[in-house]
């Protein structure tokens, strides 16, 4: 266990290069199990969620090479469908994508229920609904999900999701890729990482269309060949550094981004007074003057992402006037960080799904604890902006999703170091 020591109050200035998207990588790596051969996957972020997932795949019999820190070569030719290690599976949420991969490739699966950030109740009923619609007999206990082919076998089907779910959309896409017939996912999630997964699978020989819309069509193929694919940049990591630049009053060039993926985040920060310049694959963001209050409602893509709720809250805490932040995806997400921010001087009143944030000129360093990945990132931003020293505890949450965060922040002028507890 470790903590960050942050000496705040300094604007961030300079350049930061964004890594591969965590939520794309943790979908694409399990999906690669569908390939009976070799996949070379580039721009993979070196974060603990990815390292755990690779350990799971290796334990399952996948041969893994890492020619450099952001490239993974997976050889599945000897993979026989061994179930994933339960203890490792419980360390992250995305391990549940192995359910779709094993069902899709071998027609059966036995996977422990996932772990991951517990900022809300995170059911998987829509995943199960999808697998059952594809013809699987699904047994779900408190500990695991077990699937075998039903009496009519496995084949494509039409599935209408009751709620827009990234995870269910991903899992059904993976499960359906090698099944006979066509699968149509209605009310599908449209996040960039859904499109990235479809592009990866199509590069390996799948027939997926409509990714990025609310209707995804998968025409099953007999097999996938190997190939090479580069993962998209992480729009949430990019948004996090943008929020840090704004909160500290800095001037930062964010490189290796897809500006279109950032539009909702960029426009909100501009509303608050940030100056934003979009380039082909970079964004410059600076804060020329005081921050203005604003209103944000989180929403599935292309709306303002729930994964940026905590980070924008810190900017609101430093803006003039009263801001309103409404959460529409995970109602209890505020409780992962708001009381910690209040201990730094923030004024936040939570009523139901909405936080009312009355801005203040200054936050003050304190000892705070991360309770999930994005809450931890927000506390780092608050420490960077605050006067004095901030200690952020439980930083293993932060290191699940932010590659080389200390080096990247130090290169922007931050005084931050990691201290073992």
Residues annotated as catalytic are 117
Q: Which is nearer to ligand EPZ, 47 or 247 (CB)?
A: 47
Specify the residue for token string 């592009």. 199
Beta strands per DSSP E along 69-157: 71-75, 109-112, 136-140, 144-149
Specify the residue for token string 């199990």. 33
> Can you give the binding site for ligand EPZ, defined by CB under 6 A?
22-23, 26, 93-94, 117, 122-127, 163, 165-168, 189, 306-307, 329-330, 373-374, 401
CB of 242 to ligand EPZ, least distance (A): 16
SS3 153: coil
CB of 55 to ligand EPZ, least distance (A): 17
Q: Which whole-number Å values give the CA distances from 43 to 191, 234, 397, in the listed order? A: 18, 10, 21
Cβ–Cβ under 8 Å, residues 150 and 157: no
Radius of gyration of the chain (CA): 21
CB of 215 to ligand EPZ, least distance (A): 17
Q: Which is nearer to ligand EPZ, 122 or 284 (CB)?
A: 122
Cβ–Cβ under 8 Å, residues 238 and 254: yes
CB of 170 to ligand EPZ, least distance (A): 7
Q: Which is nearer to ligand EPZ, 32 or 253 (CB)?
A: 32
Q: Which is nearer to ligand EPZ, 88 or 366 (CB)?
A: 88
| Contact partners, residue 45, CB within 8 Å, separation at least 6 | 19, 20, 21, 22, 25, 70, 231, 234, 237, 401, 403
Specify the residue for token string 């000892």. 367
Cβ–Cβ under 8 Å, residues 108 and 80: no
CB of 185 to ligand EPZ, least distance (A): 13
Q: Which is nearer to ligand EPZ, 136 or 291 (CB)?
A: 136
User: Could you tell me which of 72, 40, 41 has the C-alpha nearest to residue 58?
Assistant: 72
Residue nearest to ligand EPZ (CB): 167
DSSP at 295:
E
């Amino acid at each position: 266990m470790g903590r960050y020591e942050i000496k705040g109050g300094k604007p961030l200035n300079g350049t930061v290069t964004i890594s591969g998207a965590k939520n794309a990588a943790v979908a694409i790596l399990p999906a690669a199990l569908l390939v009976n051969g070799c996949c070379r996957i580039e721009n993979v972020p070196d974060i603990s969620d990815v390292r755990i997932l690779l350990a799971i795949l290796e334990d399952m019999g996948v041969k893994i090479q890492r020619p450099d820190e952001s490239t993974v070569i997976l050889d599945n030719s000897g993979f026989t469908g061994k179930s994933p290690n339960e203890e490792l599976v419980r360390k992250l949420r995305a391990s549940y994508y192995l359910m779709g991969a094993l069902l899709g490739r071998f027609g059966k699966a036995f996977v422990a229920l996932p772990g991951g950030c517990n900022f809300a109740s995170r059911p998987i009923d829509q995943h199960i609904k999808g697998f059952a619609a594809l013809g699987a007999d699904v047994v779900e206990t408190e500990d695991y999900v077990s699937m075998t082919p039903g009496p009519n076998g496995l084949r494509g089907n039409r599935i209408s999701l009751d709620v827009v779910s990234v995870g269910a959309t991903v899992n059904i896409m993976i499960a359906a890729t090698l099944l006979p017939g066509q699968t149509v996912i209605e009310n599908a999630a449209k996040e960039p990482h859904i499109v990235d997964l479809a592009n990866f699978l199509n590069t390996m020989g799948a027939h997926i269309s409509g990714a990025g819309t609310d209707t995804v069509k998968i025409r099953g193929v007999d097999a996938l060949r190997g190939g090479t694919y580069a993962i998209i940049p992480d729009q949430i990591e990019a948004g996090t550094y943008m929020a840090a630049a704004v909160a500290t009053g800095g001037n930062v060039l964010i490189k290796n981004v897809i500006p279109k993926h950032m539009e909702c985040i960029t426009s909100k920060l501009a509303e608050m007074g940030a100056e934003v310049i979009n380039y082909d694959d970079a964004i410059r963001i600076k804060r020329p003057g005081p921050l203005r209050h604003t209103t944000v409602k989180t929403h599935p893509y292309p709306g303002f992402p729930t994964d940026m709720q905590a980070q924008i809250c810190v900017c609101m805490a430093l803006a003039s006037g009263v801001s309103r932040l409404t959460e529409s995806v995970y109602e209890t997400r505020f409780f992962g960080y708001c009381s910690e921010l209040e201990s730094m001087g923030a004024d936040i009143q939570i009523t139901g799904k909405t936080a009312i944030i009355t801005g203040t000129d200054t936050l003050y360093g304190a000892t705070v604890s991360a309770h999930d990945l994005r809450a931890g990132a927000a506390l780092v931003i608050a420490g960077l902006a605050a006067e004095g020293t901030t200690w952020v505890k439980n930083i293993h949450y932060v290191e699940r999703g932010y590659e080389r965060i200390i080096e990247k922040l130090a290169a922007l002028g931050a005084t931050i170091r990691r201290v073992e507890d």
